[in-house]
Amino acid sequence: MVSCDCSARTSTTPAKGTPVTSTSATPTPEHGQLFANPDRNLAMELVRATEAAAIRATPFIGRGDKNAADGAAVDAMRKFLSTVDFAGVVVIGEGEKDEAPMLFNGEQVGNGQGPDCDIAVDPIDGTSLTAAGRQNALSVIAVADRGSMYNPKDLFYMEKIVTGPEGVGVIDLARPIGENIRALSKAKNKPVEDMVIAVLDRPRHEELINEIREAGAGTQLMLDGDVAGGINAARGTGRIDMCVGIGGTPEGIITACAIKALGGVLQGRWYPRNAEERERAIAAGHDLDAVLTQDDLVRTENTYFVATGVTDGGLCAGVRRVGNRIMTDSVVLRSRSGTVRRVTAEHLADKWL
């Protein structure tokens, strides 16, 4: 499989949904060596695109116009992506949900000089949060080997559960939420009453929220954007122990790229919104009862996840101006090396006028 680490590209065009295979073997590290063949971290180039999107969206924070904020972020992200050394195809983009003219599904991005990759973009995960001036809005990019990302065109929503490494082999989406909370509590050696479960604040989750509280755990209700909730649960460095509920399939796939770098677990099950969507999904061959994992949603161990804060949140701080500098805070995850990098950058404001 071609690495998204600027390795040599094959000239063969793969069939849709087929991972690209490399014609050269990857060297094996010698004993005592950390890396036999150090490579470039593509995510360190991609972070410039999320930084740009977040900065350009900043003037629209709290102004009540989510479309203007999203449009500015999309334009900035696309321009920066065009300079990155990779041949990306947008699998999850803006077009299907927002009818945007740029970063649409199927669009080719990058300068074409690097590896072949699938790319998922969300220039602002939380446009409504941005427009209202609320917390937890992010600019997000996820990248994986070409042909490895599930295409969510048939089913836009899925039921999800995300935890950190302690949940591997412990949680099961098919079980009641109370059982999962108690099982994870035991695995983490943490009292149930100290457990915090993140859930999107939606009418469809009223029963789920009640069940969580009846089990003895607390809730953290998210207004929008469950990507940050899932990653915070998987990292285990904050208050959130688990993220559950029905959310977007695109967000699930983006989160899966991050989970592969964090060693956590994501399980999902398709959630048709109506009878028509159910029939279409069954006709396309989807098993609506199957419990899927991050490995089903992204079929490679070579993934990147990059996010920059637009507004302050549990994952990243938001963009802020200090004198003549613009400050950004980003997180960069890479599954191949299992690294989590924090990127705090200072940008000369005059360069962004």
Give CA separation, 244 vs 25, 208, 227, 338, in Å.
40, 9, 11, 24
Please state, as a whole number, how many other Cβ atoms lie within 10 Å of the Cβ of residue 283: 9
Single-letter amino acid code for the residue at 245: G
Asked if residue 207 belongs to a known ligand binding site, the reply is no
Asked if residue 229 belongs to a known ligand binding site, the reply is no
Asked if residue 203 belongs to a known ligand binding site, the reply is yes
- On the 0-12 / 13-18 / 19+ scale of CB atoms within 10 A, 301 is middle
Asked if residue 225 belongs to a known ligand binding site, the reply is yes
Q: 314, 312, 315, 308: which is closest to 347 by C-alpha? A: 308
Asked if residue 251 belongs to a known ligand binding site, the reply is yes
Asked if residue 304 belongs to a known ligand binding site, the reply is no
Q: Both tokens of residue 206?
A: 């009223």
Q: 245, 233, 231, 242: which is closest to 303 by C-alpha? A: 231
Asked if residue 157 belongs to a known ligand binding site, the reply is yes
Single-letter amino acid code for the residue at 273: R
Specify the 3-state DSSP secondary structure of 109: strand
Asked if residue 277 belongs to a known ligand binding site, the reply is no
Asked if residue 116 belongs to a known ligand binding site, the reply is no
Contact 319, 310 (CB under 8 A): yes
Q: Both tokens of residue 8?
A: 């040599």
Asked if residue 125 belongs to a known ligand binding site, the reply is yes
Asked if residue 127 belongs to a known ligand binding site, the reply is yes
Asked if residue 342 belongs to a known ligand binding site, the reply is no
Asked if residue 285 belongs to a known ligand binding site, the reply is no
Residue 353 DSSP label: -
Q: Which position has the token pair 């940008």?
A: 347
Asked if residue 146 belongs to a known ligand binding site, the reply is no
Asked if residue 202 belongs to a known ligand binding site, the reply is yes
Please report, in range form, the residues annotated as the binding site for Mn(2+): 70, 94, 122, 125, 251
Please report, in range form, the residues annotated as the binding site for substrate: 125-127, 157, 202-204, 224-226, 248
Please report, in range form, the residues annotated as the binding site: 70, 94, 122, 125-127, 157, 202-204, 224-226, 248, 251
